Structure 1
């Protein structure tokens, strides 16, 4: 995780003082034994980096996320929390006086790792260990050290526990308001998410009969459900969510005159941008907006991450 902070330079002491009181709640999930310093870039001059903003979102939903991770079904999917805790150091290790091995202190799963000596200490834990475990586990599945709301939602969808997500968090993910006394007609955010994510029953035949034919007839993969999913995504160029169409990849040796490529090789485009691509030609369009193959790949990645394919 990266933080952009305003450091105080003490030239006579040849020291750099970094006040962390405003950031401590955001950095208690990471190990500060090693720190890398570098000048802030121009776009970071306001003192707020992308990673810091990422830290703020989970801090905002700390209670809701902790309750989500504490759900027995979710906790089972995350892995062995007890085993993970026992591999940690005593949470009061920096104070010294640690004696014996690590034990689990407190009521499971709202607990913490402590040595035998500090297990007798009545102080509350200063770290949300369950939250740390959940976020680190989801981040490790993505081979990343940073995590955002869409990463948590994607993990929940893939593991079929999206209905257990906190409504407030899903509302921010969908960018929709929560139902209120004055506006009861607004659907619940998790219901909106469930409507957008509909699994596709994709059957894989490892040895299709066509493999044993001398000249098999090429078949075109078609899936209206997958095209519906692509149309539910925002346009890759304009970001608009209304009037989105599924554009089939053209050129690159995958399409011929009057034919369409497989429905899997599609990505979302607004109507105007879709028409523009066909009017100016795919080569001219790619000079302006990058390769179609890149957008097809991103769309397939999104489908896999959201659990579109069963």
Structure 2
């Protein structure tokens, strides 16, 4: 939450007095950042600064509040956790108790003070619009976070469309938004009487078919099968085999360097941490993309490189988590 406040300067005491309002006092129980307001805000009254996301409108509300879209961002529990980070009652009224709670409804949740929680708990239907807006706001913020955008970023239609493709909810996108994003003609409904010869019929194409026809599917680089009963698992002292996959290591080195972020040159096999001993090499699965400079630096002084860029194990975890998230790795169950 951001607020615009006009302070009363008391130079004799070296203090500044601020009046945020009783329901916003909780904001000052944690460290806050103070910065001068831009000249464009000089005539604005004190209060909470609301940055309106352009996507939160009637056209997008059906998509943003859909249960599958909410589940793609972590579900209701994640929404509740996000609401707990804020302060203040989200219901307008003359009186607000300083203590707040999260009231969960069938669709989502809303942050209320004790007073309005007692007043509205038995009548959740009046909260439906506020709850829907909370869900939409949370989904937009989650998409911004997923793209590593700053908190003040205003999400655009192409960005939310790309996010939906990566999270397998693109079939729920508004068709008009898809047409605009993919530079397709938007069909507008004609009003008033028409001649029969002027009437054209459009075949209703589902959103996922439009996406499939315009955007190439993300193809998995690596498919892993699960063997529930490996033969070596029944041996007392099985001979371990090194797992190799040239297709995987070739793809890994096309990603950005885990150390400096520059284009990588090599798939680096983890050393140390029980891997890469004398005359041995880690499995091809335990690789991270690195540039030539970082690769040489790791083998020259592993501890010094990890002190600057982080543990190889943690970098491997984050890289595999990202590869699984974008669909580069697909886990399959082996069929007998």
Give the TM bin, normalised by the shorter chain: 0.5 to 0.7
Tell me: CA distance 1:199–1:75, structure 2 relative to 1, closer, same or farther (3 Å). farther
Residue 138 of structure 1 contacts residue 155 of structure 1 at CA under 8 Å; is this kept in 2?
A: no
**Is it true that 1:203 corresponds to 2:225 in the alignment?**
yes
The equivalent residue for 1:256 is 277
Gaps of 5+ in 2: 11-15, 39-49, 80-103, 149-159, 185-210, 332-336
Task: Name the larger-Rg structure.
Answer: 2
Tell me: CA distance 1:9–1:65, structure 2 relative to 1, closer, same or farther (3 Å). same
The equivalent residue for 1:267 is 288
Deviation at 1:298, TM superposition (A): 1.8
Tell me: CA distance 1:10–1:305, structure 2 relative to 1, closer, same or farther (3 Å). same
**Is it true that 1:35 corresponds to 2:42 in the alignment?**
no
TM-score (norm 2): 0.50
Count of residue pairs brought into register by the alignment: 241
The equivalent residue for 2:305 is 285
The equivalent residue for 1:66 is 61
Within-5 A mapping of 1:105-254:
113=128, 127=130, 129-133=131-135, 136=138, 148-150=145-147, 159-161=167-169, 194-195=217-218, 198=220, 200-224=222-246, 226-227=248-249, 230-240=252-262, 242-254=263-275
Tell me: CA distance 1:40–1:252, structure 2 relative to 1, closer, same or farther (3 Å). same
Tell me: CA distance 1:153–1:296, structure 2 relative to 1, closer, same or farther (3 Å). farther
CA RMSD of aligned residues (A): 5.2
Deviation at 1:18, TM superposition (A): 3.4
TM-score (norm 1): 0.54
